[in-house]
Structure 1
Amino acid sequence: MASIPNPSLDAGQQALNQGDYSVAIAHFEGVCELELDESLVTRAAMGLVTAYQGMGDGKRAIAICQRLTQHPDSQVREWATSNLTDLTGVNSVPPSPSTSNSTGFVPLDGTSSNPSAPDSTGFVPLEQTSSKPKTPSRGTASNIKQRLTSSTNRLFSGQPQGNRPNATQNERTGNVPTKGKTDTQKQGLAAQAKDSQSTTENTSRLPAPYSPPPTPHPSIYTPRPRWRNSGRAQNWSPFKKLKFIRLWLVEIVSAIASFWLLHFVVQFAMLTINKILVQLPFLNPIQLFYRDPRPVLLVVLAILLILSPWLIDRLLKRFHRLDALPLTQLAAQSPEAAKMMQRFCRQRRIPVPKLGILPTEAPVALTYGNVPRTARIVVSEGLLSQLADDEIAAIYAGQLAHIVHWDFVLMSLGVLVIQIPYIIYWQVAQWGEQLPNLIERKLSSYRGFLTPILLGIIGAIASLSYGIYWLLRLPMLWFSRARVYYSDRLAVEITGNPNGLTRALLKIALGITEDIQILGKTSSLLESFDLLLPVGYQQSIPFSSCSPQTPFEAVLKWDCTNQYRDWLIINASHPLLGERLALLSRYAQFWKLDTELDLPAIAPPIRSNSARLSKLLNIYKALPLLQSALLFGLIVGMVLRGLLWLIGQIGDSLNIWQIIWMHNANNNSFLTACVLIGFSLGIFVWINSYFPDIKPSTVRTEPNLGDMFGNPTTVPPDSQPVQLTGKLLGRQGLLNWLAQDLILQTSAGLVKLHFWSYLGPLGNVLPQPPRPSHLVNQQVTVTGWFRRSVTPWIDIETLRTQASTISQANYPIWITILAFIAAAWGAYLIWQV
C-alpha cells in the first residue's frame, strides 16, 4: 500500500469507523513511523489491530496484540490481552524468554519450531540465516509487511527504523563487513541488550523513548580509509552553555563590511559609467548616478531579505531543479532524521522547516530563510544515498542549529546578493559559447572579425562579473567560518553522536571530490552556494588522496598543528576541517566514547606578547608572496614615513630647508608612497626564494600527493618544484577565462592549479592561445611549484599536452612587473609632494 504524505490519527480513526480499512491502516502506520508522542503511537497500534481484524488478517492483529501485552501501561496490556484472547480463542500470555528470539519479535504462529518454515509476515529473525526469500501471504504487498514490522519494532524495541544491524548500515555506505553477517548481527544484538537498562533509565529525560544504534564494527571501505564506525552516547549530559557574544560581534562586523563593500562597488560602477558617457559623443551622463546610493541600497537589501526564501527557491528550481522532500520520504531514507527534527522543533517551539531535495550526486545541505517559519533545509540525493541513517540525522541537526542560532538570516541575504553577479557570469558565458554558431548562421560573411570582437567583450563581462562575485563574498568568510563551530556543537548535543557527525563530514568531502571527478569540473552549485555547505568544496580536494595507506589523520594533521594556520585561513569559506573533527573527538572523549579519528591536540593560541611579536616578525615565512609583501609594505611604509617625518622635524629646527618638505608633505600621499615602496622591496627580496629554479636535479617527478599533503610544517613559501601528469579538469571556454577552475586529476588524487599570465588576472582575459581552458579534459604534464596551505595548490609554470601543446604561465614575471609598477607609483607620489 502506498504511503500517504500527511498521516493523521484522526483521519485513520474516521476511515476505520467508515470501514475503509486500507486507508485506516495507511494512516495508522504513518503515525507509528513518524509520531514522537508515545500515547498517540499506542492508539495508532490499537487502531491497526482493529483494522487488521476488519480485513480478516488475524495473524497481523495477533502480532501487534502480542507486542501490546508488553506495554508499560496496565490498561493497554489489559486491552491487548483481552483482544488476544478473542483472536486466538485461548488465554495467551507473552512468550517466555526461553522461547523468544533476541530481538523481542514473536513469530505469528507462536509455536513454530521449524526455523525454515515461512513466516507469513515476511519477517526473518536476526539470528536466523534464511536461504530463500519469504513470500507475502494473501497477495498483500510486501512493503505493507515491512512497514508494519518496522512500526511494531518502533513501538516496543525502542530502536528507530534506521538503526538496523551493522550489515544494513554497511549496505548503505558501501562497506564490506569484516565478519560474517550472522556474527555481526549477534554482536550488535548483544550490545543492544547490554545498553537496554541504561536506555530505559534515560527515557524520562527525552521527549520520546529512543535508543541509539549499537556500536558498529570496523569495516573496510576500499580504496578509501577504513571506517572505525565508533559508537554514540547512550545517556549524555549537556555541555556547558555557550556564550554567543563572539558570534554576534562577528555577524555585526560582517554585515557592516558587506554593506560598505557593496556600496563601494555600486558607487564605483556608477561613477565609471558616467565618466565613459562623458567621453562619448551625443551621450550625457546619468545624473542619478551622481547621488549617494546608500538609501536605495538599504531599501533593495530590505526587500531581498524579506523575499530571500522564495527568491532562493526560484534560483534553485531554475538552475538546479529543486524539488520538495516530504517528511515521509525523508523518514524512508533516514527515520532518525525525521524523528529528530520533529522532536527538536517541538522542544524549541518552532515549525518544522520546509524540506527540499536536489537531484545531484554531490552530497550537499543548505539552510536559508529569514525567520524560522520560512526556513528551508535542502539536501541532495547524493547526501541521502552516501550517508548512513545516523549521519544524515547529524547533518540535519547541524542545519537546525543554524536556524535556532539565527545565523542563517544574514547568510541567506549574503548568498542571495552574490548570486546576482554569479548568474550574470554564468549566463553571459554560456550565451557567448553559442555566439559563434549564431554568427555562422546569420552573419557568415562577418564571422572573421565579428566573432573574436564579440567573444572578447562577452568574455570580459563574464570575467568582470565573476570578479565582483569573488569580491563581494570576502566580507562573509569570517562569519561563515565562525558559525560552523556553533552548529557542530549543537548538532552533537541534539544527537549525542559526535562520531556520526565526523563520518558525515568526511563522507561529504569524499563525495564532493567524486562529483568533481565525474563531472570533470566544479559545478555551479558547489561554487555559488559554497558559503551554505557543511564542507567547502575547495577544502574537500585534498581528501581525494586518502586511501588505506594514507589515512584521514595524515591529511588532517596540518589543520591541527600548523602554527600559521590561523593566518592562512583568512580566504577560506569554512573552518579547517581538521580543527572541527578534533573538537568532535573531544566531545566524544567528554562522553567517554571511542573516537572515530586519532587526531593530535589542536595547537593552542599564543598567549605571550613576545611569542606574538616573534610570530609577526616571521610571518613572511608563512604567507604567500603577495600577502607577505603587502604586510611588509604596511610595516616598512609606516616606519619609513615616521623616520622621514622625524628628519623633517630636525631639518625644521636646524633651519635646513632642503629637508623640511619631509615634515610638511601631505601625510596621506607620502604614507601611500612609502607603503608602495615597501611593498615592492618585499617582492624583490623574496621572489627568488618563492620561485626557485626548476631544474632536473631539484624537481620531484610524480610525487605522492598524500605524503605532500600530510607534512604538517609546510607553508606556501616552502616551494617544492614538482612535475605531475594527469587529466586536466575544469570548465571550458568563457566560463574559465580567468583560469579559476583548474584541477589536476592524478592516480594519487586531485590538486588545485593556479595559472597567472604575465599581466596577472587581467592578462588571463587577454588573447593568449592556447588558454588553459582549451586543454581541459586532456592528459597533461604540469610543471610548477607545490604549496601547502588550507587548500594545497600548484603554481603552474607550464602545461604540456601529449601532442606537445604548451600553455605557458608567467607568475614570476607578473609579480616582478607588479613590483616595478608599485615602486614607480610610489616615486611619482613623492615627486608630486
Structure 2
Amino acid sequence: MSLQVGLEALKQERFQEAVEILETFCRNSSDRASSDYLKAQMGLVKAYHRTGELEKAIALLQKLVQSENSQIREWAEKYRQALDNSKPANRATTAGVKLAMGGVGGSLAFASGVTITLLFGMVLALGLALVLIVGNDNPINGLLIAVPITLVFNLVAFFLSPLLMDMVQNWLYHTRWVDISELEVRSPETARILRRVCQQKNLKIPRLGIIQDQNPTAFTYGSLPNSARLVVSEGLFKYLDDDEVATVYAHELGHIVHWDFAVMTVASTLVQICYLIYTTFRSLGRGGNNKIKDAFQTAATTAYIFYIVGTYMVLYLSRTREYFADHFSAETTGNPNALSRALVKIAYGIVEEGSRTKEPSRLIEGTRALGIYDPKAASSAGTAYRIAADTQKVGRVFLWDMFNPWGWWMELNSTHPLTGKRVRALSTYAEQLGLAVEFDMGRIIGEGKTLNKSKLYGNFFLDVVLYGAETIGFIGGSIIGIILISNSQSNSVGLVLGSPLIGLGLGILIKAFVMFPDYSKAQPLDVLTLMSDPYASPLRGRPAKLKGELIGRGDAGSKFGSDMMIQDRTGLLYLHYSSRFGPIGNFLFGMKRVQSLIGSNIGATGWFRRGVAPWMDLIELKSDSGTIVNSYHRFWAMVLGSLLMIGGIITVIAVK
C-alpha cells in the first residue's frame, strides 16, 4: 500500500486504517533513511496517539529523536513533550491491555442483554394464555398455536425494536441525533475511542443521540450491532470530564460488541414459553381422572418454578452484562479509575438535579433498566460525593453494598450490580494496570472485615423472621390450638378458630413494634451519616431526626403523590407519608397539602430504612411556619393486630 493512501486515511481520521497501511509501508520499505519512510514514521506516531496506543507512539518517538535528520529530531522532541503534557494522570499509557476479571460477573455466555423485549413478550404470553389456552376445549392445540406466535412476535420485535424505540425516544424525550463530528467537539477522547473500537471490531459507528435532560445517563438499544443506538443525556457532559465521558461511551460500546440484545431476546423467549407451558398444564389439571390431574398439576408447578427461576436468571444476566461492559471500558480506555469516578459522579448528578426539581426525572425513571446506573441506588454514593469529593467518605457508603446481607438480597432483585461492587471490580483493573487506585476499596474491605458479623447476620436473620411474622404467628397459633385441644381432650371449635387469629394478631403487633420502635429518643442526624450505617435494614427502622428543606415530591410524574424529598446539607432522602385513612387519605394529602409545603424548611422525625434506595417512614413533620404534619405508619398494623387478637380471644371463649 502507498504512503499517500495511509496519510490520506490519517487526514480523514480513519486512524486504525492508517496504522495498518503505514505499518505495512514501513515493513516493506528498503530505504530507512528516505523521506517517505520518515514521513510514514511520523504519520504512525500520530495514528498511534489517536488510537490510544501511547506506548507504541512513545517508543517510535524515542527512535525518531535519534534521527540524523535535525528537523525530524526537533519534531519528535516537541511531539514527545506535547504527548507527556497531554497524557492524563493515573491511567495506562496503552489502551487495550487484557485485564483479568477474577471471577467478577460470572460468565458472559449467560450474561448480556436488556429486559425490554421480556416486558413485551410477557404481556403477549399472558394475553395468548387467556385467549388460546385458559377455557379452551383443547389446551394442547392452544399451546401449539401460542408458542409459535410468541416466537414470531419476539422475532419481529427483535428486528423492529430499534425503530419502535426511536419513536418512543423522540416522543418522550425529544432525542436529537448527532454525527460523530459534533460529538468530537464535546468530547474529543470519546470520538477517538468510538472510531478506534468500531474500526477494530469492524462495526458501524452507532447512531448517536443526545437528550436535553440535565440528569446524567447513558444507554444503548437495538437488535444487531450495526443497528445499535447509543444515547446519552446532556447531563453527562455537564457532570463528567472528557476522559470520564469517554469511559461511559466505551461501557455502552461494550454492550454493542458483546451483542447483548440477541442473547437477552433468546433468554426472555424461553422464560415466556415456560409461562405458557405452566398456564397450559394448570388448565389441563382441572379435569380428568385423579392420576392425570395430579400429573398435570405437577407439570404446571414445575413450569412455574422454571418461570420464576428464569426471571431471576434474566435479572442475573442484566447485572452481569454491566460487569462485562465495565471491563470492556477499562480495557478499551486503559482508564478504569475514570469509570469509577464517572459512576459516582452520575449518582451525584442524579441527586443534584433531583434537588432542583419538584418531581423526579421521567428520563431517569423511564430508562432505569437500560441505563448505565440504577437511579434508585444514586442516593448513597451521590450524597457522599455531594458533600465532599473525598474517596474515603464516598467509600464508606459502599460498606452496606459490600457487607450487609440485605445488599445481596436487594441486588438479587435488581437489574444493576450495587455500585460498591462495580467500583471494587474497577479498582482491581486499575491495580493490574499499575495505577494508583482512587477509590481505595482495599481499605473499605479491611474496614468491612472489622464489622460485627454476628450483628450483621443476626439482624438479617431477625429481619427474615420478622418479614414472615404474620405467617409464623398464624401457623404457630394453629399448632398451639391443636396441642391444647389434644391435651385437654376437648373438641372446642372456638379454640381451633380463635388460636390462629390470636397468633396472626400477635405476629402483626410484634412486627409493628420491631419495624417502628420507640422514637422518643430519636437523635438529630444527617442524611450522609444515616447512609453510611453498614447495619441499616429495610425492615428495622432507625429512629432519627433530620432538618432541611422540603424540595419536592418523591413520585415520578405524580401530581398528587404523598411522598416527599428532604434535602439537608449532606444530601437527599425520601420521606414516606402514611395517612390514618389509608390510600384515600394519602391521595388527599398529596393533592391538598404537599404543594404548599414544598420549599419550606422543616424538621422531620421518622424511621430510617436502607434498601437499594434509602428512605424514611415519616412520623412527624414540622415546618418553620408552624405547620405540623403527622404520619401514621404503624396505626393500621396496631389496629388490625389488636382486633385480630381480641376477635380470637372472644372466639375461644364464646364458641364451643
TM-score of the aligned structures, taking structure 1 as reference length: 0.56
Give the Cα–Cα distance (whole angstroms) in 2 for the partners of residues 474 and 809 of structure 1: 36
Matches within 5 A, 1:516-555: 516-542=354-380, 543-546=382-385, 547=388, 551-555=393-397
Among 147, 158, 162, which residue is 1:309 paired with? 162
Matches within 5 A, 1:523-672: 523-542=361-380, 543-546=382-385, 547=388, 551-570=393-412, 572-599=414-441, 600=443, 618-619=459-460, 621-622=462-463, 629-634=466-471, 658=491
Does residue 725 of structure 1 match 2:564? Answer: no
Matches within 5 A, 1:758-773: 758=580, 760-761=582-583, 763-766=585-588, 770-773=592-595
User: Do 1:722 and 1:786's aligned partners in 2 also have CA atoms closer than 8 Å?
Assistant: no
2:194 aligns to what? Answer: 341
Taking a change above 3 Å as real, the CA distance of residues 636 and 366 of structure 1, as seen in their structure-2 partners, is same
Does residue 373 of structure 1 match 2:212? Answer: no
User: Do 1:784 and 1:797's aligned partners in 2 also have CA atoms closer than 8 Å?
Assistant: yes
Letter matched to residue 518 of structure 1: R
User: Do 1:305 and 1:413's aligned partners in 2 also have CA atoms closer than 8 Å?
Assistant: no
Matches within 5 A, 1:473-552: 479-542=317-380, 543-546=382-385, 547=388, 551-552=393-394
Matches within 5 A, 1:130-169: 155-156=45-46, 158-160=48-50
SS in 1 for 2:606: strand
Deviations 1:341-367 (A, max 9, x none): 344344444433222111222221111
Among 706, 712, 716, which residue is 2:534 paired with? 712
User: Do 2:162 and 2:228's aligned partners in 1 also have CA atoms closer than 8 Å?
Assistant: yes
Letter matched to residue 402 of structure 1: H
* TM-fit CA distance, 1:527: 0.6
* TM-fit CA distance, 1:197: 3.8
User: Do 1:729 and 1:743's aligned partners in 2 also have CA atoms closer than 8 Å?
Assistant: yes
User: Do 2:550 and 2:567's aligned partners in 1 also have CA atoms closer than 8 Å?
Assistant: yes
1:353 aligns to what? Answer: 206
Taking a change above 3 Å as real, the CA distance of residues 299 and 37 of structure 1, as seen in their structure-2 partners, is closer
Deviations 1:369-388 (A, max 9, x none): 12223221111222234333
TM-score of the aligned structures, taking structure 2 as reference length: 0.69
Give the Cα–Cα distance (whole angstroms) in 1 for the partners of residues 30 and 336 of structure 2: 40
Give the Cα–Cα distance (whole angstroms) in 1 for the partners of residues 647 and 129 of structure 2: 22
Deviations 1:756-807 (A, max 9, x none): 2235556523567644344334433322222334332211123333333333
Letter matched to residue 375 of structure 2: Y
* TM-fit CA distance, 1:539: 1.6
Deviations 1:379-398 (A, max 9, x none): 12222343333322321222
Deviations 1:421-442 (A, max 9, x none): xxxxxxxxxxxxxxxxxxxxxx
User: Do 1:397 and 1:490's aligned partners in 2 also have CA atoms closer than 8 Å?
Assistant: yes
Taking a change above 3 Å as real, the CA distance of residues 480 and 827 of structure 1, as seen in their structure-2 partners, is farther
Give the Cα–Cα distance (whole angstroms) in 2 for the partners of residues 408 and 730 of structure 1: 35
Does residue 746 of structure 1 match 2:568? Answer: yes
1:692 aligns to what? Answer: 517
Among 718, 735, 754, which residue is 2:558 paired with? 735
Give the Cα–Cα distance (whole angstroms) in 2 for the partners of residues 213 and 802 of structure 1: 57
Letter matched to residue 544 of structure 1: T
Taking a change above 3 Å as real, the CA distance of residues 685 and 211 of structure 1, as seen in their structure-2 partners, is farther
Largest Rg, 1 or 2: 1
Contiguous gaps of at least 5 residues in structure 1: 1-8, 14-24, 44-67, 85-93, 95-103, 105-151, 164-191, 202-209, 219-228, 271-290, 416-472
Taking a change above 3 Å as real, the CA distance of residues 706 and 73 of structure 1, as seen in their structure-2 partners, is farther
* TM-fit CA distance, 1:641: 6.9
Calculate percent identity across the aligned residue pairs.
25
SS in 2 for 1:351: coil
Matches within 5 A, 1:178-577: 196-197=58-59, 230-232=90-92, 234=94, 236-239=97-100, 262=123, 303-408=156-261, 479-542=317-380, 543-546=382-385, 547=388, 551-570=393-412, 572-577=414-419
Equivalences, count: 571
Give the Cα–Cα distance (whole angstroms) in 2 for the partners of residues 582 and 795 of structure 1: 31
1:132 aligns to what? Answer: none
Could you tell which deviates more after superposition, 527-536 or 490-499?
Answer: 490-499
Give the Cα–Cα distance (whole angstroms) in 2 for the partners of residues 412 and 757 of structure 1: 43
Taking a change above 3 Å as real, the CA distance of residues 603 and 303 of structure 1, as seen in their structure-2 partners, is farther
Deviations 1:503-549 (A, max 9, x none): 22122122222222233431100111111111122222232343156
User: Do 2:322 and 2:416's aligned partners in 1 also have CA atoms closer than 8 Å?
Assistant: yes
Deviations 1:280-329 (A, max 9, x none): xxxxxxxxxxx999677776665544322111111111221111121222
Give the Cα–Cα distance (whole angstroms) in 2 for the partners of residues 493 and 829 of structure 1: 69
User: Do 1:216 and 1:231's aligned partners in 2 also have CA atoms closer than 8 Å?
Assistant: no
Contiguous gaps of at least 5 residues in structure 2: 64-79, 132-141, 269-310
Does residue 783 of structure 1 match 2:605? Answer: yes
Give the Cα–Cα distance (whole angstroms) in 2 for the partners of residues 534 and 350 of structure 1: 21
User: Do 1:162 and 1:336's aligned partners in 2 also have CA atoms closer than 8 Å?
Assistant: no
Does residue 35 of structure 1 match 2:8? Answer: no
Taking a change above 3 Å as real, the CA distance of residues 824 and 570 of structure 1, as seen in their structure-2 partners, is farther
SS in 1 for 2:219: strand
Give the Cα–Cα distance (whole angstroms) in 2 for the partners of residues 375 and 297 of structure 1: 24
Letter matched to residue 561 of structure 1: F
Provide the aligned C-alpha RMSD in A: 5.5
Matches within 5 A, 1:775-814: 775-814=597-636
Letter matched to residue 595 of structure 1: V
SS in 1 for 2:160: helix
Deviations 1:698-733 (A, max 9, x none): 2333x3333332232333415122132213223799
Give the Cα–Cα distance (whole angstroms) in 2 for the partners of residues 638 and 257 of structure 1: 37
Deviations 1:584-607 (A, max 9, x none): 11222233321111124659999x
User: Do 2:622 and 2:629's aligned partners in 1 also have CA atoms closer than 8 Å?
Assistant: yes
Could you tell which deviates more after superposition, 154-163 or 586-595?
Answer: 154-163
Give the Cα–Cα distance (whole angstroms) in 1 for the partners of residues 633 and 431 of structure 2: 47
User: Do 2:194 and 2:250's aligned partners in 1 also have CA atoms closer than 8 Å?
Assistant: yes
User: Do 2:565 and 2:573's aligned partners in 1 also have CA atoms closer than 8 Å?
Assistant: yes
Higher relative contact order (CA 8 A, sep 6+): 2
Taking a change above 3 Å as real, the CA distance of residues 485 and 771 of structure 1, as seen in their structure-2 partners, is farther
Could you tell which deviates more after superposition, 306-315 or 576-585?
Answer: 306-315
SS in 2 for 1:578: helix
Give the Cα–Cα distance (whole angstroms) in 2 for the partners of residues 384 and 782 of structure 1: 35
SS in 1 for 2:548: strand
2:307 aligns to what? Answer: none
